[in-house]
Amino acid sequence: MEHSLMMQAVLAVPTVRPFLSNTQLLVMSHAGGGEEGPFFLQKFIDLAQQIAAMPKTYEQEDKGDQATAHLHYFVGGCDWYITEKDVDGGVQQAYGYAIINGDDEMAECGYICIEEITRCGAELDLHFTPCTLAEIKAKRAIKATGYQCKRCGGVAPVGVGYAVTGWRGVPDEARTACDCGHSLKATSEVHNPNPWVVVTNPGTDKEDIWADFPTHRAAVAALADAEEGADVMKRLDDGTLTTEF
């Protein structure tokens, strides 16, 4: 079985090679003989099948944001989502959605030379699942604005027209509760600039955030004005509240 997997991976390499930087190809090839070998060998096989089947130039031109991105490249704050491979060779003039230096407002669709971006250090995302450009834009929009649960920190987007996985399937303007059952509040940033919070009824079903503050000292000072039994907690980047700090 392992020998068969190795042979399939070897046969897949010529298809995958043009879509990888030399460094990433070497790393994956070396890893194929190591402890995580089966994962990387299978990845070569899966990528070859995915690349062979993905649309070529102009085959998704009328789909707009419903076009499917099949490959994702990244380096630094830049991302490229490839929707069509070059009709001739796959990599010279592919097409997709480019976000340079994290600037979503200036992001646009256009021709992308995969050979050039990989030569400049871009890596192929080995964990990317093909999805539409609309889904990509919606997920990225969550980082900028949305509704945030006051308890679990989960965020739902504003105005994307459908619910993100894990949220109630109701229009955004009508959504008032997170799947954890607690109310949502408008937020302009997913990562709260005020991570220190005063929590009322901590550890109970009625636990709620009374106020948040930029520093621990400010939160402690505000305890005197909060309800009896309130406590200071810290909100982590994933929204979890903790007393371990």
Domain region containing 150: 139-242
| Residue that finishes a domain, picked among 10, 33, 53 | 53
Whole-number average pLDDT of the chain: 80
Indicate if 80 and 125 belong to the same structural domain: yes
Note whether 105 and 169 are same-domain residues: no
Q: Is residue 156 part of a domain?
A: yes
- Of all residues in the chain, the percent with pLDDT exceeding 70 is 75
Q: Are 217 and 245 in contact (CB under 8 A)?
A: no
| 79 lies in some domain | yes
230 SS3 class: coil
User: Does any domain span residue 229?
Assistant: yes
Check whether residue 223 and residue 147 sit in a common domain: yes
Same domain, 182 and 96: no
- Each residue of 4-60: pLDDT tens digit? 889 999 999 999 999 999 999 999 999 988 888 899 999 999 999 999 999 999 999
| pLDDT, tens only, 210-234 | 887 777 887 888 888 888 889 998 8
Quote the number of domains for the chain: 3
**pLDDT tens readout for residues 50-95:** 999 999 999 999 999 999 999 999 998 899 999 999 998 779 999 9
Do 46 and 92 fall into the same domain? no
Q: In this structure, are 48 and 70 located in the same domain?
A: no
Task: Indicate if 76 and 150 belong to the same structural domain.
Answer: no
Q: Both 112 and 178 in a single domain?
A: no
Distance CA 125, CA 81 (A): 10
The pLDDT of residue 193: 52
Q: Note whether residue 212 is domain-resident.
A: yes
> With bands split at pLDDT 50, 70 and 90, how would you rate the model's confidence at 175?
very low
Taken in order 166, 243, 204, 189, the sign of the CA dihedral is negative
> What is residue 245's predicted lDDT score, i.e. its pLDDT?
67
Residues 70 and 49 in one domain: no
> What is the pLDDT, as a whole number, of residue 237?
63
Domain assignment present for 58: no
Q: Does residue 184 surpass a pLDDT of 70?
A: no
Q: What is the pLDDT of residue 180?
A: 55
78 and 125 share one domain? yes
What's the pLDDT band for 188 if we cut at 50, 70, 90?
Answer: very low
Residue 20, C-beta contacts closer than 8 angstroms, at least 6 positions apart:
28, 118, 124
Q: Tell me which amino acid residue 118 is.
A: T
Strand partners, 110: 96
The answer to whether residue 59 sits within a structural domain is: no
Residue 74 lies in a domain: yes
151/228 same-domain check: yes
Name which of 78, 166, 73 is nearest 126 in CA terms. Answer: 73
Let me know if residue 85 belongs to a domain.
yes
Q: Do 206 and 169 share a structural domain?
A: yes
The set of residues, in sequence order, having a beta carbon less than 8 Å from that of 31 and lying 6+ positions away, is 37, 39, 40
Look at residues 87, 105, 130 and tell me which one is the last residue of a structural domain.
Answer: 130
